[in-house]
C-alpha cells in the first residue's frame, strides 16, 4: 500500500505563506483581456506536481484569510512551492503531473488581482495514483478545510469512519489529523481521523 506523506513543516507553512494567486479562464473576451493584461513573459520551468492536494492560504477581500486546495511541487521537502489555479490544468486529487509552466506578469498594478499568473505550456506526463494510495494531513483546522460541508479543500470525499463524520464537519473549529485512501472507483475515503486539540 502506497502512502503519500507531506512533512509537518510544509503543512503548517501552507497556512502562513500564500500560493501564487492566479486567475482562471473565463469567456473569450475575458481571456483576451487577461492575455493583454499579463503580457510580460516572466520565465518558465518544468515542474513535477504531487498528487496530494495541500492547504494553502491567502488574504482576500476585507483582509480575510481564505484557505483552498493547491498543488505542491513533488520536491517540496527541499523547495517549498504551491500552485493554485494553473491556467490550463484542473485541480485533480490523486493525479501526478509533469508540466512545463510559463509565468506571465503585468506591466501595471492591478487592483484586487494577482501580479503574476501561471499557464501550462505543455503537460508532459500525467499519472493516476493506484487504488489504496493514502494521503495524510496533520493538524489541519476543520473550520478552514471543510467549510461546513462534505468537501475537503473543495474536493469530494466519502466517510469511512464507524462513528460517522458529522463530528468533524459540524463541530466548529479544532485541529485534526486525517487519513484519506483512494478507492478502486477513484473516490476518496476518509479512513482515519483524530483530534489533536482540546477545542473539540
pLDDT-derived band at 127 (thresholds 50, 70, 90) equals very high
Over residues 140-166, the mean pLDDT reads 81
What pLDDT score does 120 carry? 93
**Rounded mean pLDDT of the chain?**
75
Q: 27-63 pLDDT, tens per residue?
A: 344 445 555 677 888 899 999 998 988 888 655 555 5
Joined together, the cell numbers standing for residue 93 give 486529487
pLDDT-derived band at 93 (thresholds 50, 70, 90) equals confident
Residue 30 backbone phi and psi in degrees, to 5: -65, -40
What pLDDT score does 19 carry? 36
What pLDDT score does 44 carry? 92
3-state secondary structure of 139: strand
Helices marked H in the chain: 8-16, 28-37, 142-145, 166-169
> Residue 1's closest CA among 185, 139, 183?
183
pLDDT-derived band at 114 (thresholds 50, 70, 90) equals low
Tell which wins on pLDDT, 62 or 74.
74
pLDDT-derived band at 15 (thresholds 50, 70, 90) equals very low
What pLDDT score does 18 carry? 38
Distance CA 94, CA 182 (A): 8
| pLDDT exceeds 90 at position 126 | yes
- The answer to whether 23 and 37 are in contact (CB under 8 A) is no
> Residue 83's closest CA among 97, 94, 98, 73?
73
- The answer to whether 76 and 50 are in contact (CB under 8 A) is yes
Which strands make up the sheet holding 134-141, listed edge to edge?
3-4, 134-141, 175-182, 188-195, 158-159
What pLDDT score does 12 carry? 41
Q: 75-89 pLDDT, tens per residue?
A: 655 445 788 778 998
pLDDT-derived band at 122 (thresholds 50, 70, 90) equals very high
Tell which wins on pLDDT, 176 or 33.
176
Amino acid at each position: 500500500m502506497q502512502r503519500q506523506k507531506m512533512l509537518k513543516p510544509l503543512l503548517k507553512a501552507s497556512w502562513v505563506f500564500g500560493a501564487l494567486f492566479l486567475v482562471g479562464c473565463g469567456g473569450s473576451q475575458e481571456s483576451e483581456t487577461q492575455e493583454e493584461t499579463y503580457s510580460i513573459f516572466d520565465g518558465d520551468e518544468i515542474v513535477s506536481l504531487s498528487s496530494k492536494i495541500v492547504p494553502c492560504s491567502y488574504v482576500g477581500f476585507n483582509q480575510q484569510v481564505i484557505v483552498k486546495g493547491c498543488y505542491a511541487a513533488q520536491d517540496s521537502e527541499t523547495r517549498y512551492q504551491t500552485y493554485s489555479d494553473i491556467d490550463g490544468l484542473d485541480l485533480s486529487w490523486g493525479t501526478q503531473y509533469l508540466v512545463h509552466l510559463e509565468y506571465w506578469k503585468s506591466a501595471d498594478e492591478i487592483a484586487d488581482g494577482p501580479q503574476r499568473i501561471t499557464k501550462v505550456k505543455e503537460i508532459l506526463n500525467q499519472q493516476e495514483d493506484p487504488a489504496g494510495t493514502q494521503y495524510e494531513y496533520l493538524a489541519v483546522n476543520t473550520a478552514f478545510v471543510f467549510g461546513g460541508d462534505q468537501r475537503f479543500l473543495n474536493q469530494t470525499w466519502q466517510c469511512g469512519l464507524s462513528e460517522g463524520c458529522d463530528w468533524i464537519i459540524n463541530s466548529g473549529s479544532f485541529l485534526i489529523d486525517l487519513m484519506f485512501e483512494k478507492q478502486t472507483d477513484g473516490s476518496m475515503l476518509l479512513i482515519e481521523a483524530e483530534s489533536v486539540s482540546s477545542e473539540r
